[in-house]
Structures are given as C-alpha cells and as structure tokens.
Amino acid sequence: MTLGLTMIVKNESETLSKALSGIKDAVDEIVIVDTGSTDNTVEIARAYTDKVFSIPWADDFSAARNYALSKVTTDYWIWLDADDVVPQKTAQCIARLKRKNFLSADIIMLPYAAATDENSNPTFVYYRERILKKSPKNIFNGAVHEAVEPNGKIITLSSPIIHAKPVGRSSGTRNLDIYEKLIAKGHVLSPREKYYYARELFYNGKKREAAKELAEFIREKRGFKVNKADACTLLSQCFAAAGDNESAMQAALYRFAFAPPDGEGCCAVGSLFFERGDYSSAARWYGLALKTKPDIKSGAFVQADYYGFIPLVWLSVCYDRLGDIKKAYGYHRRAKKLRPTDKSVLANDAYFASKGFKDMST
C-alpha cells in the first residue's frame, strides 16, 4: 500500500520546511496546492516534490483540499497543514501502518494537539480523520472547518500530530467572513456549520449573536452530542458576559444532558458558583473536575488543564476564601508541580510566602 501527503498552503515559508521534513520519509508522494502565496512558499515546496499546483483562493477550504486529492495517485492519503509537526514516533507509527496495509481501514483517526503549554505539553487535543483510503467517499465537506464524513471501517490510534502555529499568527475574522458570505448568498447552514459559525462569532467577541446561534444548534435534532455539550458551555459564557447569571447556570448544567460530567463542564459550573461567592459549592465542582478523566476518543475538544491544573488552582483559591489556608496551600503545591512557571502559580507562590508558607522543594 502507498501513502500520499496532501497539503494546501499560502505564505507558509516560516513553517513549511519543518512540516515536510517530519513526514517526507513516511510517504510515497507529496502533493501541495498553493492558493496565492506572495513569499517563497512555492520554491520551498518544490524542494520536496514536483507535484506543486496553484489555484486561486475561492473562500472554500474543501474545494482547495479536494483539488489536492484529485492529484493524489496513492492508495491512501494523509493531510497536514503547513504549521503542523509530525513527531518522530508518529512518523514511525505511520511507517508501521503502511507495512500492515493500514489495517484495511477506510479512515484512521489520530489525536490533533492544537495547543501546548509553556512546557510543550498538549493542552487542547481532539481526534481528526488523518489517514484515509483514496475513495469518492473520502472527500472534504464545508467551506471552512472542513471535514470528511465518517464512513466504513474507522480505527483510532494514539500517535499525535502537533499544531505548531507561529506565535502571533492569527486567522482573524477570515473564517467568520466566509460563513457570513455564504449566509448572504442564501446558503442554509447545516447543524455542524451552525455550531462552528457560532464558535467563530463567540471567539470574535460577538457573544450576543453567538448566543442565538448556539441556542438554535442545541435545539437541533441533528448534530453530535459532544458539540452540543460544548455549545452549552459557550452559551453559558455568553449569558454570563451579559450579566444573566441564572441563565448562565442553566446552560452550564444543561451540558450534562449531552455528556457525562467532565473537566470542562464541572469547571464551568464551579466558576459560576465562585462568582456567586458560594465558595463551598464551587470547591465541590472543582473537586469533581479533578476526579474526571478526559475522553479524547469521544470526538470532543479536550482541554487537559481542566482535568488537573485549573481545578487545582481554583480549589486553592476557594479554600483560601473559606479560611482553610493550609488546605489551600496543598492544592497550590499540586498545581505548581504541573506548571511551575505559570503566572498564576508564581502569583500564588508570592501570596503563600507572605502568609509564612515556604516550599521546601524549591
């Protein structure tokens, strides 16, 4: 079995070589489609492959990715972004999969570490369809936040791809603009598109508009439960930003209609009790977050800090407010072991030192 790499690029001279060098020995073919670079991205790409194509950008990620797929001649293909990194162990895993004919799978899911902390530990991870059999079924859908619909035999493996976006780089309102152009043209958003459109509104500061779209998505009969659970938490934050704390609590708790208690959900409820000044209830919810385990294979966006570091920090604050400073210091020490250079840890270190506590391990 053979494997081809597909990639779409635009002005990626800062990252492209690193992305390609990590995967080039594991693939039999590299196909790169440029969508309008004005730097030397194309020249860098040609150092790795002669299959470099150019097309005009048309506000449609799927169209660009599917054009790249049309040029692939291998049995299977893997997609990467130009700022992704393939760790050596993942490249070795891919090589083993090739020898095993990709386990006859139609789609192979790998973890995508979309963010890391100051110690390079993954903090935001979710599974993506990453290696796929060449088939008319395996094409991308969606102008933005494009994906391949699940089909056939799907297997999940633990070897990650790391998203290493350069510091300071931002897509700005690009994705939101694409959605709004589609809507203006009369396009009716699918449930999945509505969810991602709502997220774009939320993260671009348009929380009132986001709340409307999130509520509509939650009421949809269709849509993945993990996405609805996340939508509830985002909706809760929209209500909280508007000062509607009762609705914020209702939305936060409604998350559990779609997913079992998890770190993200429990911390969201804990934060609302903390804002009410109910530190005892807040501590209970943060304590519950510590007891949960992340389920990356669920398809949800998993933020590792909500299962350890964040509840530990807030438990320290809660117990300090409750007058149990010794217990508060214990939680602080546990948080410090996880992220010793985090700003909140350093600030709390100074606070506890002013109270006469000294960490003898440092």
Q: Is the pLDDT of residue 181 over 50?
A: yes
Q: What is the mean pLDDT of the chain?
A: 96
H helix count then E strand count, the chain? 14, 12
For residue 129, the model assigns a pLDDT of 97
- pLDDT tens column, 238-281: 999 999 999 999 999 999 999 999 999 999 999 999 999 999 99
**b/e sequence 276-299, b meaning 16+ C-beta within 10 Å:** eeebebbbbbbbbbbebebebebb
For residue 361, the model assigns a pLDDT of 53
**b/e sequence 238-262, b meaning 16+ C-beta within 10 Å:** bbbeeeeeebbbebbebbeebbeeb
For residue 119, the model assigns a pLDDT of 78
Separation CA 79–CA 68 (nearest Å): 10
- pLDDT tens column, 115-154: 888 877 888 999 999 999 999 999 999 999 999 999 999 9
- pLDDT tens column, 17-42: 999 999 999 999 999 999 999 999 99
Separation CA 112–CA 90 (nearest Å): 11
Separation CA 291–CA 293 (nearest Å): 7
Q: Is the pLDDT of residue 362 over 70?
A: no
Separation CA 310–CA 316 (nearest Å): 10
Question: Is the full-model pTM beyond 0.75?
Answer: yes
For residue 170, the model assigns a pLDDT of 79
Structure token pair of residue 54: 């150019």
Q: Is the pLDDT of residue 360 over 80?
A: no
Cβ distance 234 to 210 under 8 Å?
Answer: yes
Query: 315 burial class (0-12, 13-18, 19+ CB within 10 angstroms)?
Result: buried
Q: What are phi and psi of 84, to 5 degrees?
A: -90, 155
Q: Average pLDDT for residues 165-187, to the nearest whole number?
A: 92
DSSP conformational letter for 119: T
Cβ distance 255 to 272 under 8 Å?
Answer: no
- In the chain, % of residues over pLDDT 90: 93
List alpha helices for the chain, DSSP H. Answer: 16-21, 41-46, 61-70, 88-99, 174-184, 191-203, 207-219, 225-241, 245-254, 263-276, 279-291, 309-321, 325-338, 343-354
- In the chain, % of residues over pLDDT 70: 99
- pLDDT tens column, 297-342: 899 999 999 999 999 999 999 999 999 999 999 999 999 999 999 9
For residue 200, the model assigns a pLDDT of 98
CA count, 13 A, side-chain hemisphere, 130: 28
CA count, 13 A, side-chain hemisphere, 124: 7
- In the chain, helix, strand, coil percent, each to 5? 50, 15, 35
Q: Average pLDDT for residues 61-84, to the nearest whole number?
A: 98
- End-to-end CA, the chain: 53
Cβ distance 206 to 199 under 8 Å?
Answer: no
Q: Is the pLDDT of residue 167 over 90?
A: no
Q: Is the pLDDT of residue 46 over 50?
A: yes
